Amino acid sequence: MLLCDYNASNPVPMKKIHIGIIREGKTPPDERVPLSPDQCRALKNQYPDVDITVQPSPIRCFEDSEYEKRGIRVDDNMAECDVLMGVKEVPLDQLIPNKTYLFFSHTFKKQPYNRKLLRALLDKKIRLIDYELLTDPKGRRLIGFGRYAGVVGAYNALLAYGLKSNRYTLKPANQCADRNEVNEELKKVSLPKGFRIVLTGKGRVAGGAMEILDDVGIEKVDPSDFIETKYDGAVYAQLGVDEYNRKQDGSSFEKSEFYNHPERFESNFMKYAEDTDMYIACHYWDSKAPFIFTREDARDPRFGIRIVADISCDIDGPVASTLRPSTIADPLYGYDPYLEGEVDFMAPNAIGVMAVDNLPCELPKDASEDFGAELLQNILPHLLGEDKDEVILRATETDNTGALMPSFSYLQDWVDGNE
């Protein structure tokens, strides 16, 4: 489905398209936005026939006047817009019928708290394009806030260690104006000799976390060297699924088998958890896959980790110390492995836990600009032009006739309340 005509030699829409940037209505409020003022201006420059209207917002990380100074209309009325873009789920009473929406809907996995939202989208004949489903032909995600989840998560991990060890104090990320101020704060980090960090995950979340570790000057080492070598300076190792899991029968690890039959595998994490100070969890975890470390593992005398920054934040899941999500206002709590429960973060036996589940909101300007850059580069050319790779089609969950798209027909019984 095209939104406009397209000329391959001149990728500019041939029909006028009106894009609306809606204000976030979900509680608690979110300061992020899909496109910054400069990015809206860049979009207008590249596609002169695209109109943009930004809905005024008192909470957005960019002020209304910043859009107006760049020649972008600010108006409460979204009725004339063809495409409406937000970030979080749109409250039901704010949905405008017969529009195309882009936002994170959290519906395609049958999330129970958003069934009413999907019903409303269908009832109002809204075409939903879900950011989370925007992928290339190989299934790789093209857009997301994962990088800044990793950036803030790793920063919070270092903040937690400074507090726990009383070696230094960092300003909370949400009190920093931007990434530049975060980098200034990182200059305060002072780690002891031989400090060791393990990180799980190979995606954009892990990439963001490693940016912070690299900025601090922590050396990245090979996982096998991490186990076998003693280092004078601080080091970290990045682990993939083939390093923190192994076959139960001792045979060789095959990634395709792990993804198709995770029940045949068990955790191999303990050998990395020995003599290690900090763990940063950036992985994607399937509920059928092994736990990374269990409550029994956390009681093992060999288990050395004292700070866990669980960016993935699967509650009562693969990381035993993650009992609940924490908040930006109160990001840290303690886990006592012997009591198997929550205690004060500073308690002597406690593993310090950081499990904030909306980390990018701590640096909303930087996170929004990073997201908007991906939107401009990876998504809008397909949305405004010819969608040859079916990027938009694959991510379109509902159409403007009030029906689920064929790829999402599995949601029908769930929407109807039959399961």
Q: 17-143+364-415 with 146-357: one CATH topology?
A: yes
pLDDT digits (tens, 9 = 90+) for 317-340: 899 999 999 999 999 999 999 999
Is residue 39 within 8 Å of 372, Cβ to Cβ?
yes
| Whether pLDDT at 182 is above 60 | yes
**CA dist., res. 346 & res. 19, Å (int):** 49
**CA dist., res. 387 & res. 380, Å (int):** 10
pLDDT of residue 17: 93
Cβ neighbours of 419 (radius 10 Å): 9
Rg of the chain on CA atoms, in Å: 23
pLDDT of residue 175: 96
Is residue 415 within 8 Å of 115, Cβ to Cβ?
yes
Residues in CB range of 161: below 8 A, 6 or more apart:
167, 191, 277, 278, 306, 307, 352
145: DSSP letter? S
**CA dist., res. 19 & res. 34, Å (int):** 12
- Fold classification of 146-357 is Rossmann fold (3.40.50)
pLDDT digits (tens, 9 = 90+) for 13-67: 446 899 999 999 998 889 999 999 999 999 999 999 999 999 999 999 999 999 9
Q: Where are the domains of the chain?
A: 17-143+364-415, 146-357
What CATH number has the domain spanning 17-143+364-415?
Answer: 3.40.50.720
Residues in CB range of 20: below 8 A, 6 or more apart:
52, 53, 54, 55, 78, 81, 83, 84, 85
pLDDT of residue 32: 97
In this prediction, residue 12 has a pLDDT band, given cuts at 50, 70 and 90, of very low
pLDDT digits (tens, 9 = 90+) for 281-306: 999 888 888 999 999 999 999 999 99
Q: Which of 379, 362, 327, 305 is nearest to 133 (CA)?
A: 379
**Pick from 11-15, 210-214, 371-375: least confident:** 11-15
pLDDT of residue 188: 98
Question: Interhelix angle for 204-216 vs 179-186, to 10°?
Answer: 50
Percent of the chain with pLDDT over 90: 90
